[in-house]
Amino acid sequence: MTQSHPAELDLADMTWPPPPYHPPVPPVTDEHGVRRFDGVTYATTPGYRPRLLDVQVPAGEGPFPAVVWIHGGGWLDGDRRYPPPTVPAALLHGSVLAAGLALVSIDYRHSLEAPFPAQLHDVKAAIRYVRRFAGELGIDPDRIAVWGESAGGHLAALAGLVGPGSANAEALEGAHGVATGDTGVRAVVDWYGVSDLPALAGHPLPGMPPGGEFPDPYDALLGGTEAERPALALAASPVTYAQDSTPPPFLLIHGTRDGLVPFSQSEVLAEALVGAGGDVTLRPVEDADHIFLGSPDIPEIVAESVAFLARHLSPGV
């Protein structure tokens, strides 16, 4: 007697190696009409975990402009689903959707999985994926912005500045996931991101666990020290690309008492962007540490960031 199986594999649909990305999963619509595409595989690379993204699309008729959210965590940690602990996810996500913007939250390879530029490759791959499947996702492919915090702010700045005309553009764009396509963005919000890695060489890292069990985030990102890899440190620094770019509008928000990433990092980037003729707003958060610790103004900071994005993603801009 032949044993039957509840689900037969369709061998004709199987491929090897696995596909470099998967089409969007069917959305789930919540009680407010928000459509969610959760756990979409936007890039695969043999030997690494799949890179996933979530999409939330406002209720109503699209296509909608989109904001790509890039989490922080020192390039060593973090998760697309969770903003920093000072910023409630409901506040951040709800503010974006209420402004009529779709939210795309992405994971990327951590630095001990692969050093730079793997993280930028993944951000670029996510942007290409959103453009490739914009119709299925209900997104306007011509109106995409990036927003990141800490390590994600650094990657957002690079995503805004690195383009086809940049030095070593092909090596920085990567070819993961959807291998080709436009990765340009209309605006950048960078919360307390690093902009000049060589300037941080030797900078003390407060709050590091004792005993050296936690890697130095900068060394992990580069796969070695800045002294060992000076060219890569420059390649990983957004200021390297600011002067020779045509930058999109930037909003930089940074605590003036940030002990982990000094406020001067945003000052240096703002100066470079102004020198390139860019539209840049530098917003200091007085007496705030990293992740805006000590600031009572988190809702206002989120509102300012969302308003900036909505303004620059509006149809007439």
- Are the C-beta atoms of 271 and 107 separated by less than 8 Å? no
Instruction: Give the pairing type, strands 35-43 and 188-191.
Output: unpaired
Q: In what order do the strands lie in the sheet with 188-191?
A: 28-29, 35-43, 51-57, 102-106, 64-70, 139-149, 188-191, 250-255, 280-285
Q: How far apart are CA 279 and CA 258, in angstroms?
A: 24
Catalytic residue of the set 122, 290, 295, 305: 290
Say which of 254, 258, 295, 312 is annotated catalytic: 258
Helix (H/G/I), strand (E/B), else coil: 254 = strand
The residue type at 12: A
Residue type, 63: P
Phi-psi region of 223 (alpha: psi -120 to 50; beta: other; left: phi over 0): left
The answer to whether 290 is a known catalytic residue is yes
Which of 150, 237, 266, 295 is labelled catalytic?
150
Report the distance separating Cα 44 and Cα 67, nearest Å: 22
Comparing C-alpha atoms, which of 235, 314, 238 is closest to residue 280?
A: 238
DSSP element (H, E) containing 102: strand 102-106
Q: Which residues contact 245 (CB under 8 A, 6 or more apart)?
A: 161, 163, 165, 166, 276
Extract the tokens encoding 246. Answer: 């045509």
Q: Can 150 be counted among the known catalytic residues?
A: yes
Q: How far is CA 93 from each of CA 90, 118, 275, 311, rounded to the nearest angstrom?
A: 5, 26, 33, 17
What is the sign, positive or negative, of the torsion defined by CA atoms of 154, 155, 160, 164? positive
- Active-site residues, by number, are 150, 258, 290
